[in-house]
């Protein structure tokens, strides 16, 4: 068993550290007290990241990606989050509005029209599945796509869709066969966001970044050739690529937890109470000992699961475990860091309250903690799941 990170990843990480220092940290400092970032500034970061080879690093080389696989991707995401990144971290690889492996299902024409411009930062996208009446139970979506000659007419509402206010096209999941639903009755369409009948309202979440939105489809006409993959195969398509999102959250959590640990150690060494640095108090030391122990567990869970997914293993329970454990750990880590910083931890200029807001969202997005526990339990009880040997 060789548990060393390969040389190609080491080189990528060294280049990434340089890129973050030169291009990202000055911008983070400039926009430190802001919540909403001008879209043009984000696009500029994406273009620079594209030139440097980080944007779409997880996509295959034949579509202009870095061909780094999921292990390379999680290493990159973890590294980004180890640094003082608040706003631009996800723009480096694309994040929710950027390239996603689901789009590898594009046919030749769709690749030219949607995927390649996306890879070149000429277009942005969004993933539109969730609806007001269907979140955790995504198979219950009500948005309908009815056939009309060679077109489909889409009607319905999606909400909480990250990237939708700036997207040029959306991956929209709609019911094409109400009898079959998740078993062959949900189809994914590539929909141009300037199509007549579409309206988008910005929804400001806890992160207040203006990136999520509600999309209304009022009899939007979409040509049949805009079906991604096959008719009825939309749900299967979304599930096939689900591990990327889950592992990305695990890697984000690992990077941010390390950052919380470092910040807390630095602060504890210099903050003196009752004549001694608080770092010398066992109460503080044990908080940091627990945090570093859990970080070590998470980090190896992320690497090991990513490595297995790259080898084509299913890992449905394991990716849920990573997402569940990571999102809950990082929440505790930020909370602990605030506790160690005392009142200072609640001041905006320290940045911890922002991380608390950002990391709180991780227990909801990409499936809630309860839904991941449900998935893990199902795998344990119903599938022939066994511990990796
Ligand atoms: C900032 C943000 C960005 C998002 N971006 C996107 C995006 O880009 N694209 C997209 O499609 N979606 C997106 N989402 C939607 C997100 O995936 C959903 O919010 C999430 O899946 C939960 O769905 P819900 O909000 O409807 O909660 P609900 O499903 O209504 O759940 C409410 C509560 O009930 C619990 N619960 C539900 N069912 C069960 C059960 N069977 N057993 C036990 N507990 C249960 C849940 O865990 C939760 O605690 C985003 C959400 C947010 C907040």
Q: Whose CA is nearest to atom 35 of ligand 1?
A: 370
Residue 177 CA to residue 218 CA, distance in Å, equals: 19
Question: Do 202 and 276 belong together in one domain?
Answer: no
Least Cα distance to 44 among 30, 58, 64 occurs for: 30
Find the CATH number of the domain harbouring 227.
2.40.110.10
Residue 310 CA to residue 71 CA, distance in Å, equals: 7
Assigned domain for 49 exists: yes
* Residue with more model confidence, 172 or 384: 172
- 362 in Cβ contact with 212 (< 8 Å): no
Residue 160 CA to residue 77 CA, distance in Å, equals: 23
Dihedral in degrees, nearest 10, Cα atoms 262, 263, 265, 268:
180
Assigned domain for 115 exists: no
Q: Which of 209, 232, 255 is the last residue of a domain?
A: 232
Ligand 1 environment, Cβ below 6 A? 96, 126-130, 135-136, 160-162, 205, 212, 361, 364-365, 367-368, 370-371, 374
pLDDT digits 0-9 by tens, 279-306: 999 999 999 999 999 999 999 999 999 9
Question: Do 369 and 258 belong together in one domain?
Answer: yes
What percent of the chain is modeled with pLDDT above 70?
98
Residues with catalytic roles = 366
* DSSP per-residue letters across 68-110: -HHHHHHHHHHHHHHSS-SSSHHHHH-GGGS--GGGGG--HHH
Question: Do 15 and 68 belong together in one domain?
Answer: yes
Three-state DSSP state, 326: helix
Question: Do 81 and 167 belong together in one domain?
Answer: no
Find the CATH number of the domain harbouring 363.
1.20.140.10
* DSSP per-residue letters across 242-270: HHHHHHHHHHHHHHHHHHHHHHHHHHHHH
User: Could you tell me the residue range of the domain that residue 352 belongs to?
Assistant: 241-382
Assigned domain for 39 exists: yes
Question: Do 250 and 373 belong together in one domain?
Answer: yes
Least Cα distance to 245 among 72, 87, 84, 74 occurs for: 74
Structural domains counted in the chain: 3
Assigned domain for 389 exists: no
Q: Whose CA is nearest to atom 16 of ligand 1?
A: 365
Question: Do 375 and 247 belong together in one domain?
Answer: yes
pLDDT digits 0-9 by tens, 3-48: 888 999 999 999 999 999 999 999 999 999 998 999 999 999 999 9
Instruction: For the chain, state the CA radius of gyration.
Output: 22
Q: In the predicted model, is pLDDT for residue 235 greater than 80?
A: yes
Assigned domain for 262 exists: yes
For residue 85, the number of C-alpha atoms closer than 13 Å in the C-beta half-sphere is 27
Assigned domain for 327 exists: yes
pLDDT digits 0-9 by tens, 171-203: 999 999 999 999 999 999 999 999 999 999 999
| H-only helix segments in 148-241 | 234-240
pTM score: 0.96
- pLDDT class of 373 with cuts at 50, 70, 90: very high
Query: What per-residue confidence (pLDDT) applies to 360?
Result: 97
Residue 8 vs residues 12, 67, 305: alpha-carbon distances, Å: 6, 11, 19
Three-state DSSP state, 153: strand
- Structure tokens, 15: 């280049």
Question: Do 249 and 376 belong together in one domain?
Answer: yes
Q: Which of 173, 199, 232 is the last residue of a domain?
A: 232
Cross-strand bridge partners of residue 212 = 162, 203
The mean pLDDT value for 326-352 works out to 97
Residue of 36, 135, 162, 166 best suited for mutating to test ligand 1, as the one with most atoms within 8 Å of CB: 135
Residue 360 CA to residue 335 CA, distance in Å, equals: 10
Assigned domain for 117 exists: no
Residue 322 vs residues 301, 309, 357: alpha-carbon distances, Å: 6, 13, 20
Question: Do 273 and 367 belong together in one domain?
Answer: yes
CA of 138 to the centre of ligand 1 (A): 9
Q: In the predicted model, is pLDDT for residue 1 greater than 80?
A: no
Question: Do 186 and 289 belong together in one domain?
Answer: no
Question: Do 252 and 329 belong together in one domain?
Answer: yes
Question: Do 203 and 271 belong together in one domain?
Answer: no
Find the CATH number of the domain harbouring 94.
1.10.540.10
Assigned domain for 319 exists: yes
- pLDDT class of 242 with cuts at 50, 70, 90: confident
Query: What per-residue confidence (pLDDT) applies to 116?
Result: 97
- 112 in Cβ contact with 123 (< 8 Å): no
Query: What per-residue confidence (pLDDT) applies to 59?
Result: 95
Question: Do 245 and 358 belong together in one domain?
Answer: yes
- Within its chain, how far is the Cα of 77 from the centroid? 9
- pLDDT class of 387 with cuts at 50, 70, 90: low
Q: Which of 232, 254, 271 is the last residue of a domain?
A: 232
Q: Whose CA is nearest to atom 4 of ligand 1?
A: 160
What is the overall mean pLDDT for the chain? 95
Least Cα distance to 250 among 318, 357, 322 occurs for: 322
């Amino acid at each position: 068993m060789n548990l060393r990170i390969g040389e190609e990843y080491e080189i990528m990480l060294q280049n990434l550290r340089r890129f973050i220092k030169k291009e990202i940290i000055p911008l983070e400092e400039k926009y430190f007290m802001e919540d909403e970032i001008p879209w043009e500034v984000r696009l500029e970061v994406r273009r620079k990241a594209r030139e440097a080879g980080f944007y779409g690093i997880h996509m295959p080389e034949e579509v202009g990606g870095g061909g780094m696989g999921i292990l390379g991707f999680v290493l990159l995401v973890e590294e980004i989050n180890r640094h003082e990144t608040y706003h631009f971290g996800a723009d480096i690889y694309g994040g929710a509005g950027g390239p996603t492996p689901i789009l590898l299902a594009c046919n030749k024409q769709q690749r030219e029209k949607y995927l390649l411009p996306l890879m070149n930062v000429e277009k942005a996208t969004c993933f539109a599945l969730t609806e007001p009446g269907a979140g955790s139970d995504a198979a219950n979506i009500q948005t309908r796509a009815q056939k009309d000659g060679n077109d489909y007419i889409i009607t319905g509402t999606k909400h909480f869709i990250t990237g939708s206010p700036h997207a040029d096209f959306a991956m929209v999941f709609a019911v094409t066969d109400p009898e079959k639903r998740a078993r062959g009755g949900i189809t994914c369409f590539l929909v141009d966001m300037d199509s007549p009948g579409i309206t988008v309202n910005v929804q400001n979440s806890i992160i207040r970044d203006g990136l999520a939105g509600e999309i209304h489809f009022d009899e939007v006409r979409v040509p049949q050739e805009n079906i991604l993959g096959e008719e009825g195969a939309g749900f299967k398509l979304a599930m096939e690529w689900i591990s990327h999102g889950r592992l990305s959250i695990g890697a984000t959590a690992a990077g941010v937890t390390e950052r919380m640990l470092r910040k807390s150690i630095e602060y504890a060494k210099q903050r003196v109470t009752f004549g001694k640095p608080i770092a010398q108090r066992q109460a503080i030391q044990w908080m940091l000992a627990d945090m570093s122990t859990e970080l070590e567990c998470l980090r190896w869970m992320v690497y090991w699961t990513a490595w297995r997914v790259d080898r084509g293993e299913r890992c449905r329970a394991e990716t849920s475990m990573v997402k569940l454990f990571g999102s809950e750990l990082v929440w505790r880590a930020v909370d602990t860091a605030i506790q160690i910083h005392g009142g200072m931890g609640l001041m905006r200029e320290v940045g911890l309250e922002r991380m608390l807001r950002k990391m709180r969202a991780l227990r909801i997005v990409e499936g809630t903690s309860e839904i991941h526990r449900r998935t893990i339990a199902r795998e344990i009880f119903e599938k022939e799941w066994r511990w990796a040997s």
